[in-house]
Structure 1
Amino acid sequence: MYEVTVHADVLALLPDPATARICLDVAEDAARAVCGTMAAAHVGADPARMIAAPEEIDLQMLRDLDEGSPAQRLERVTSAFEDWKQAKSDRERLLLDDCRGDLNRCVTSKCHEAALVVAPCHGNMDARDAFHDLLFNEQKLVLAPPPGPYRGNLLGHVVIGWKPHDHAQRAVVAARRWLAAADRVTVLCVNDKPDGSYQFTARELIDQLGLKSDVVAIDSGSRSVAEAILDFARSANATCLLIGAFKHGYFLELLLGRITRHLLSHAALPLMMKH
């Protein structure tokens, strides 16, 4: 099941020691669900190995006051990785890869071949920057662990937040292997059009991919769309959410990306997404 970084189906990307263990747990479940391989890698910005503007290097050096040096951050990630690895004997073959320097290049080199990258959306500066790169630059299928405890059973019930846009379709297509392995899949259409186009396009795509899914339409009422999605996920005992993340480019999303940002901030379950 475990593989070197460049060949793995699922990569646990570990930029932040605080979230390393939960990323490893989620990645292991994601790989096992599709009988795939898993790898783990630490990435981190290191001003001593960067070619960048002086201001950027100065900013990275200021981080040392709060987060420790690049070597210290790696040491803490390695410690968390080794503790996790020793908990089960079948993890002994898994090794921790490492890339420090220019963070964008590190993310590209470690994640290029992975079909799914498990990475935190919050945390230290490396975590936030790596998550941005994965979505907007690498356009990977990303699985963000929940902020609280992970209860397992990743694919027990996957709820897809659906709207007939390209980014939502790309997310479903990219996640096909995991949707096929799920015990249950529900496509959720919030505030469908009078002609039922959300439900029609959802069923059409699911059929094209050879998947099985329920398609449910709800009205958000006085709630936001994101709140309606989370309320449904709780009531349906969802174990994972899948969405098309950020319809627009990065700078427009700073103003308009309310749904994705709300889900990232408030979802209590793993959130799978693709831009």
Structure 2
Amino acid sequence: MAYRRLLLPLTGTASGEAALQTALMVARIWHSHVHCMHVRVDARDVAPLAGEGLSGAMIEEMMAATERESGDRASRVRELFDRFVDGKDVVIATTAESANKADAATLSFESVAGREEDLVAQQSRLYDLAVVPHTEAGEDVSSSDALHAILFDSGRPVLIAPQQPPQTIGTRVCCAWNGTAESAAAIAASLPWLHHAEAVQLLHSTAYHRRGPNVQGMLSYLRWHGIKAETREFQPISKDVGAGLLAAATDFDADLLCMGAYSHSRLRQLILGGVTRHVLEHAAIPVLMCR
């Protein structure tokens, strides 16, 4: 079992470039393919404004301006992709046959028009893993439509890339366990990484646990898969479970954290805060999440 096909919703930001580098690192480990998809705004989405009292001429001008801006942004993203692959030991592949023949990391690029949250969620269902850029500095995590669309609507795991490309990924892996279906799904999705890793640690805490099997049950599950792991009980920092979780991962020198997302409702965590929100905002290493 391996991650053969990765989807990267690509943006023209610094975080987007870091995600591209992270995705390529993953692809080189698994000899997999990264499909970079940039979603342009569809100018036809402006048409419903006709019901807002705008004239036909005004709407046409808005559609034309949207089309120009969207095209310019798509060109910048394509230029970023071309600069990134220039001089690197990667193969551009557009079919499964050409990618399989390469026996190496392969990349492709596509620019499509539509609603980003709809397209990335739907297309992610055809991939083993989606790699999503970290939110930009100062941005609210709730603004990442692609991330939440994949988490809630794709049925696939998401790898959130850090703002700075990591030096390594998947050599020392921490798994957050709290007994929930979400954390179980994350660990199941991370099994290839756990087999690949040099060291694995299960992080658990009384303050983090929900109704479900305890950490010894998950430890036994991993043994059935031939994976040796150690356990560590972490403590919240200033009553913040997410901060305690990230501190424990740092103590382990982890270069990958696997965890379930939004055991509580997304709305509750976005308004009041929560473990998922804290990790999404503050993690400096790649984080694999499942919902």
| TM-score bin (small chain) | 0.7 to 0.9
In the alignment, which residue of structure 1 is the partner of 2:233? 217
Q: Which of 226, 239, 245 matches 2:242? A: 226
Could you tell me which amino acid in structure 1 is paired with residue 259 of structure 2? I
Q: CA RMSD in A?
A: 3.2
CA contact (8 A) 1:164 1:201 kept: no
In the alignment, which residue of structure 1 is the partner of 2:124? 111
CA contact (8 A) 1:160 1:186 kept: yes
Taking the aligned partners of 2:195 and 2:222, their CA distance within structure 1 comes to: 10
Match runs of 1:34-73 below 5 Å: 34-46=30-42, 48-50=43-45, 53-54=48-49, 69-73=69-73
- Unpaired stretches in structure 1, ≥5 consecutive residues: 1-6
Q: Which of 93, 96, 102 matches 2:109? A: 96
Q: Which structure has the bigger radius of gyration?
A: 2
Could you tell me which amino acid in structure 2 is paired with residue 122 of structure 1? T
In the alignment, which residue of structure 1 is the partner of 2:56? none
Could you tell me which amino acid in structure 2 is paired with residue 118 of structure 1? V
TM-score (norm 1): 0.81
In the alignment, which residue of structure 2 is the partner of 1:237? 253
Taking the aligned partners of 1:95 and 1:9, their CA distance within structure 2 comes to: 11
Match runs of 1:62-211 below 5 Å: 69-93=69-93, 94-123=107-136, 128-147=144-163, 149-191=164-206, 198-211=214-227
Could you tell me which amino acid in structure 1 is paired with residue 85 of structure 2? K
Residues 74 and 221 of structure 1: is their aligned pair in 2 closer, same or farther, counting only changes over 3 Å?
closer
CA contact (8 A) 1:11 1:117 kept: yes
Taking the aligned partners of 1:16 and 1:131, their CA distance within structure 2 comes to: 16
In the alignment, which residue of structure 1 is the partner of 2:103? none
- The 3-state SS of whatever aligns with 2:214 is helix
Taking the aligned partners of 1:52 and 1:173, their CA distance within structure 2 comes to: 44
CA contact (8 A) 2:171 2:199 kept: yes
CA contact (8 A) 1:244 1:273 kept: yes
TM-score (norm 2): 0.77
- The 3-state SS of whatever aligns with 2:144 is helix
Q: Which of 263, 275, 284 matches 1:247? A: 263
Residues 197 and 96 of structure 1: is their aligned pair in 2 closer, same or farther, counting only changes over 3 Å?
closer
Residues 221 and 108 of structure 1: is their aligned pair in 2 closer, same or farther, counting only changes over 3 Å?
closer
How far apart are residue 38 of structure 1 and its match? Answer: 2.6
CA contact (8 A) 1:134 1:140 kept: yes
Taking the aligned partners of 2:284 and 2:120, their CA distance within structure 1 comes to: 26
Taking the aligned partners of 1:202 and 1:182, their CA distance within structure 2 comes to: 17
Could you tell me which amino acid in structure 2 is paired with residue 37 of structure 1? H
CA contact (8 A) 1:243 1:273 kept: yes
Taking the aligned partners of 1:92 and 1:103, their CA distance within structure 2 comes to: 24
Taking the aligned partners of 1:203 and 1:16, their CA distance within structure 2 comes to: 41
- Unpaired stretches in structure 2, ≥5 consecutive residues: 53-58, 94-106
Residues 53 and 245 of structure 1: is their aligned pair in 2 closer, same or farther, counting only changes over 3 Å?
farther
CA contact (8 A) 1:41 1:110 kept: no
Taking the aligned partners of 1:89 and 1:35, their CA distance within structure 2 comes to: 12
Residues 233 and 257 of structure 1: is their aligned pair in 2 closer, same or farther, counting only changes over 3 Å?
same
Residues 250 and 220 of structure 1: is their aligned pair in 2 closer, same or farther, counting only changes over 3 Å?
closer
The count of residues paired between Structure 1 and Structure 2 equals 259
Taking the aligned partners of 2:229 and 2:187, their CA distance within structure 1 comes to: 12
Residue deviations 1:196-228, cap 9 Å, x none?
953212213323444222222233364421111
Residue deviations 1:29-65, cap 9 Å, x none?
222323333322212332x244985399x9xx79x79
CA contact (8 A) 2:172 2:200 kept: yes
How far apart are residue 165 of structure 1 and its match? Answer: 0.5
Residues 112 and 197 of structure 1: is their aligned pair in 2 closer, same or farther, counting only changes over 3 Å?
closer
CA contact (8 A) 2:19 2:165 kept: no
- The 3-state SS of whatever aligns with 2:159 is strand
